[in-house]
Amino acid sequence: MNTTLTARSTPLQRIVRFWNKHKWSYFFIFPSMLLFFLFIAYPVAQAFLLAFQKVDLRGSAWVGLKNFQDLADSRLFWDSMRHTFIYAFFVVAAWITSSMLVASLIQPLSNKIQSLFRGAFYLPNVISIVVISLVWIWIFEPDYGFFNYLLGLVGLPRVLWLQDPDIALWSIVLSTILIVPGSGVVLYSAAMGSIPREYYEAADVEGANALQKLINITFPLLKPTTLYLTVIYTIAGFQIFERVYIMTGGGPINATTTIVQLIFQTAFSDFNYGRASAQALILFAIIATFSILQFKFLSTDVEY
């Protein structure tokens, strides 16, 4: 009989019953949803609309795809995309490799020693990127920097690490990959610790060596963690800004300008908000595409 009454209810009655049943749930999530729409959903929608307008301090006008056409003809835009791709590729590869290597090295240790190393590697994550960048500026300083001091000890000439357009970007990449990401070490260490020992014992019975166990057991069972870290590191790589802004400001002669740096410059130096929104929309599309591809090729249904 209840089913019959429900079927005969009007849409308005069903909405009222649903509201009476769940209204307190929506009451509790309302503050979070309000903040989400004000500071995330609305700005994203506004940026999407601005990408098709010419917006400056004098006003706005609809221009369609002109902002994207201008970007296609901009050498600076393509150079910034190339710099961003180079940075993201090498940083993601180095961070994944170094995190997995360090986690493998500390895995045989006792739990207390593992916790000590995890904390030590994670500690730089809580330090401001501004402080880290200032330290690297001193290390790369051409006259009294630490790297040039080491080169002088072996009789090599000094290097203009951040002043030479040919190596400035590689210097920033070097300053990033030399820091092992603590998040990766912690996650890989936890994932390795949760792999059942029975798999390795069975491999020992079959006569498998350490390399075979690494390739056939450890790597496949670490794919969920690898997928997560690859996605978040790729997003972080494409969004590189603070380190470049502080260390080089995009120079010399735009040799280290990245896409986020260009967006910042276009919006807040040139006051061309429409073109900056178009650049941001392209960056979003690139990050989304890479994330989808990574999920496609690295996703797995392995559970352990």
User: What per-residue confidence (pLDDT) applies to 301?
Assistant: 57
SS3 content of the chain, % helix, strand, coil (to 5): 75, 5, 25
Q: What is the pLDDT of residue 8?
A: 66
DSSP result, 208-223: --HHHHIIIIIHHHTH
Domain extents in the chain: 74-298
In terms of Cα–Cα distance, which of 224, 258, 227, 256 is closest to 241? 258
Tokens coding 96? 């994944």
Q: pTM here?
A: 0.86
**CA–CA gap between residue 276 and residue 292 (Å, rounded):** 24
Superfamily of 74-298 according to CATH: MetI-like (1.10.3720.10)
Q: What is the pLDDT of residues 38-65, one digit of tens each?
A: 998 998 898 899 999 988 777 778 888 9
Nearest to 178 by CA among 132, 224, 212: 132
Q: Are 123 and 182 in contact (CB under 8 A)?
A: yes
Res 300: pLDDT:
64
CA atoms within 13 A on the CB side of 208: 17
pLDDT of residue 52: 92
User: Are 71 and 275 in contact, with CB atoms under 8 Å apart?
Assistant: yes
**Residue 203 contacts by C-beta under 8 Å, 6 or more apart in sequence?**
212, 213, 216, 217
Q: Alpha-carbon distance 86 to 174, whole Å?
A: 12
pLDDT per residue rounded down to tens, the chain (304 residues) = 444 444 567 888 888 888 888 888 888 888 999 999 999 899 889 889 999 998 877 777 888 899 999 999 999 999 999 999 999 999 999 999 999 999 988 888 888 888 888 888 888 888 888 999 999 999 999 988 999 999 999 989 999 999 999 999 999 999 999 988 889 999 999 898 888 888 888 888 888 888 888 888 888 889 889 999 999 999 999 999 999 999 999 988 999 999 999 999 999 988 889 999 999 999 999 999 999 998 888 776 545 4
The radius of gyration of the chain from alpha carbons, rounded to an integer in Å, stands at: 26
